[in-house]
Chains A and B, each alone.
Chain A
Amino acid sequence: MSWTPFLPDPRYGRELRGITPSAGDRESIVLAFVCLAYVATTAGFGDPPRAVAWAGLGAVLLGAVAGRGVWAGWALVAVGLALGIAGRPFAVANHHFVLTWSSLALALALSAPAEERVELVRHNARWLIVAIMGFAAVHKLISPEFMSGSFLTFGIVAGSFGEPLLRFCGDCAGIVEENRQAIAAFRNAVPDSAAALPLRSPIPDLTAVVRGFGVSILIVEAALFGLFLFAPRSRAAHFLVLAFAAGLGIIRQELVFIAVVVALGYLSCPHSLRWLKRAYLVAAVVFTGLAVY
């Protein structure tokens, strides 16, 4: 079967009326490319697990071309990524876990009888988004550093957030650079709990900006949690994922994580939301490409 996820599927009309048996298999290739980008570019990932994940991704792509056995490839990817976690489970980044769970979900879903696959892929992708957003919001709500504004304020004065926007803001970039140099010098000195370093704000009314920023983050995460919990097939849910990805891309370039979330959104999106499905594809290609670049 010669098919690529980036070209229109000749059987698209049939998919709209019913379920094409291998649709879930083929859709999973979007996540395979994100996985590929992650495994190829990530550092600090032991060689044997990476080799297993490479083999699994090769099997996924070959299986998609051959029209069978994709689930076994995903099982191998899940094993490879899980081996990467097993060595130091508490030190592995969260997007590594998301990819591992996603691979396992695809292995389970795509090993099902053909008529159940698409629904299982959608179901698992949906619940992964619910879990990610739910836990992310809880972590922020229980964190004194987040709720006091300490973390976000520091992120803004140190230039960790909204870096692309700084160039449009007068002297902001200069102030942030001064702050960064002062922080580096402070950090290199032997620590002393009495020492304090005052930093300058690059923007006026920083307190109000931080408050709005923090509340917006919580609202978006709670909205994604709620929408995917109660209305996973709605336009609002999928539009919000894309808006979240675009916003995150501007505020903080966590490109692998954004690509993973977009791929999960794509997998959970019903074919009836045709334009959103295509928008997901474009976003997945863009963010995966940027992550590799």
Chain B
Amino acid sequence: MTRRSVLLFVRRWAVLAGVCLVAGLQLSQVLTGRQSSWKGGGFGMYAGFHPNYAEIWAWPADGSEPVRFTRAARGPAHTGSGLRLCTVRTTLECVERRIPRDGERPRYRRVELWQRSFDPATRTLTRAMILAYPGGRRP
């Protein structure tokens, strides 16, 4: 095999191999429910609800009313800490890592991730909790 033929092979197939690797990894994450199909390089747009439809609710440690974390452009407060990212990466680790803290102490005693569900027959919108911190993933 000459150097030129090796280079030609790389130029022909390296990108496709990379695409399949990344998209395959993303697909496996989607299949295990830990990742939104919309993001992450797997080309799964429009296969299901956009992560913007998911909701992050947090109950402050001081016992006050629960708050919803929104996207900066669409809501007033509670946009910080990157907790919204957990609507894309739906894992407990994501919430644990990004929950706002005062020193070592989490600012919220409870965080929940809710996803919407829609019954096409009755055209009824409902919401279901899929993840709670502390706690874990719900079936």
Bound Cα distance A94, B116 (Å):
22
A142 contacts partner chain B, Cβ-Cβ < 8 Å: yes
Known contacts A92-B39, A131-B19: does B123 contact A198 (CB below 8 Å)? Answer: yes
Query: For residue A118, which residues in chain B have a CB less than 8 angstroms away from its CB?
Result: none
B2 at the interface (CB under 8 A from A): no
Interface of chain B, main secondary structure: mixed
Contacting pair B44 A135 (CB below 8 A): yes
Q: Which residue of B is nearest A251, CB measured?
A: B46
* Cα A150 to Cα B45 with chains together (Å): 15
Q: Is A183 touching B125 in the complex (CB atoms < 8 A)?
A: yes
Do residues A146 and B88 form an inter-chain contact, with CB atoms below 8 A? Answer: no
A-B pairs with CB below 8 Å: how many?
169
Residues of B within 8 A of A105 (CB): 15
Q: Which B residues form the contact surface with A (CB < 8 A)?
A: 7-8, 10-12, 14-16, 18-20, 22-23, 26-27, 29-31, 35, 37-49, 55, 57, 66, 68, 85, 88-89, 112, 114, 116-129
- At the interface, yes or no: A97 with Cβ under 8 Å from chain B? yes
Bitwise, A110-142 to B at CB < 8 A (1) or not (0) is 011000100010011001100110011011101
Partner of A128, one of B19, B40, B120: B19
Beyond A136-B46, A151-B47, 18 additional pairs, beta carbon < 8 A:
A90-B39, A97-B40, A97-B41, A108-B11, A108-B15, A127-B15, A139-B42, A139-B47, A143-B37, A154-B116, A154-B125, A157-B123, A190-B57, A197-B125, A198-B123, A201-B123, A210-B120, A217-B46
A177 within 8 A of B: no
Name the B residues within 8 Å of A128 (CB-CB). 15-16, 19
List chain A positions with a Cβ less than 8 A from chain B: 85, 88-94, 97-98, 101, 104-105, 108-109, 111-112, 116, 120, 123-124, 127-128, 131-132, 135-136, 138-140, 142-146, 148-154, 157, 183, 186-188, 190-193, 195-201, 206-207, 210, 217, 252, 254, 257
